[in-house]
Amino acid sequence: MKATIARFILVSAAFLAPLAHAAEPTPSRVVHHQALQSETVEEAVANLRDSNRKLAALLAGDVTDHDMQDIHSLAYTLEDTLQRLIDELRLLHDTVADMHWATEGMKRDAVIDYGEAYLDGIGKIMD
């Protein structure tokens, strides 16, 4: 008897669950956007700063449906910009690793070259 009641409740819930959300408005179709491109590291940093400023302003309010669309659009640029910077940081990491190995081998000229390359690259990311 208990098993029959349990089955009835489960079947009823399965059929009635969609009705519980029937009154909710159907979300509009999500529009995909083109990310703001960063050809250089300097552009990536500028795009990141600008996008961060815009995101902070949007999050400071009530975050309306319109804001959600703006945040969705910003996310494309943020994702691409961060990936551009991650790629650059990986290259800089490799440069520092090469400098490290050069110090172990007492290769002064290589240490200087790698060190200067690192400082030049990181200077584009950090002020």
Tell me if 80 is assigned to some domain.
yes
- Say whether pLDDT at 87 is over 50: yes
Tell me if 26 is assigned to some domain.
no
Tell me if 30 is assigned to some domain.
no
Residue range of the domain that includes 106? 38-127
Q: Based on the structure, what is the number of domains in the chain?
A: 1
Tell me if 107 is assigned to some domain.
yes
Q: What is the mean pLDDT of residues 5-10?
A: 49
Percent of the chain with pLDDT over 70: 74
Confidence (pLDDT) at 36: 76
Tell me if 98 is assigned to some domain.
yes
Q: What does the H/E/C string look like for the chain? A: CHHHHHHHHHHHHHHHHHHHCCCCCCCCCCCCCCCCCCCCHHHHHHHHHHHHHHHHHHHCCCCCHHHHHHHHHHHHHHHHHHHHHHHHHHHHHHHHHHHHHHHHCCCHHHHHHHHHHHHHHHHHHCC
